[in-house]
Structures are given as structure tokens and as C-alpha cells.
Amino acid sequence: MQILKFVIAWFSLLYLTLYIPFAFMVYFSPWYKLNCRLHPISQRIPTEKASVYVHQLTGFFLHCHPLETDWSAKEKFHLNEVLGIFDVLAGTAILSLALFGFTFNKKHTRKLAGINMLIIISLLIIIPFFRYFWVSILHPLLFNNLAWKTNPMDVSFFLLPPAFFYYSTILLIAVSFIINLSLWLSFRVRK
């Protein structure tokens, strides 16, 4: 039973430390807005219009309102698929939080965070092959259609270029690592 509790606590903590930065990137506008200033393709959208699109997208992901008129039918279809995935991820985060609370053991937290740091840092292995991973592995695994492919007629072509996902992945890995490092340092045995 102790081993099962340890594994549940480990997975829950790993999931939560990946989900927290993911949620901040997806549901709040600063990361999108920063990326609109960083990527040349995103800069083709006027700043005011980019802010409107970001507001629409984050509001859509938060179930506050539908996407407005400039989004193509294909984009709306795909983003509805993505919304379904995000809803499952959010539900899993709530479950992970409850399970971590149930299995929390102060003595194990440092070890769990250490294991998580190794796993999270190993995710950097996809960075040199990110485009291949993104196009040939992740999307075919998650979607059974090609609606995720964008073209210059799509808002998401400019708002969410491939570089957005590349830098989002790096940020997700870095912040998750820092969260686990903070836990690892905070729960060290004091003499």
C-alpha cells in the first residue's frame, strides 16, 4: 500500500508541476501577447487586433464565449477539439491535486521532486527534433484529421506559429523543473 501511495503521489506531483505552467500559458493572455511581439510572422497582425484574438482565444478556452468571426470554420473545429483535450487535462489536474493531498507525505516530497526533475529535464531531448515530434508524432496521436494544419487565411497561422509551441514547450519544461527544484530544496532534511 505504501508503494502505491508513493507512485500516486509521484505521478500527481509530476502532473501538477507540468499542468500549472501549462494552464498559465493557455488560459491567460501574457504568454500569447509576448509571443506576438517575438515572432516575425505574429507581428504581421496589428497589436490591437492580436490583443482581440488573444482575448477571444483565452476566453474560448475558459468557456466564457465562442470564437468570433475572423476564425475560419476549420480553426473553430480544431480549437473545439483542443478545448476538449484541455478540459480533460484540467479535470485530471483536479484529480491529481486531490490524490496528492490524500497521499502527501512530507518525508517523500523531496524524493518525488528529485525524480520529477530528472524526468522533466529528460523532456529536453525532444527540443532538437521538435518540429518532427510536433507534426509527425503528437498531432497524429491526438487528432484523426488535418484541421490542425494552418494556412495564411487562418488567424492561428499568425497568432500561433510553430515557434510559439516550440518556446512554450521550453518554458513549460523550465518552469516545471524550477517548481520541482523549489520543492526539492524546501523539503530537505534539516539537521
Confidence of residue 69 (pLDDT cuts 50, 70, 90): confident
> What is the Cα–Cα distance from 149 to 122, expressed in whole angstroms?
28
Provide CB contacts within 8 A for 176, sequence distance 6+. Answer: 17, 18, 20, 21, 116, 120
Average pLDDT taken over every residue of the chain: 94
Q: Which of 62, 89, 60, 55 is nearest to 76 (CA)?
A: 60
Kindly report, residue by residue over 78-112, the tens digit of the pLDDT: 999 999 999 999 999 999 999 999 999 998 999 99
Confidence of residue 128 (pLDDT cuts 50, 70, 90): very high
DSSP 60: H
> Which pTM does this prediction carry?
0.92
Kindly report, residue by residue over 19-58, the tens digit of the pLDDT: 999 999 999 999 999 988 888 888 888 888 899 999 999 9
Is the model's pLDDT at 189 over the cut of 80?
no
Reading the block at residue 51, the C-alpha cell is: 490583443
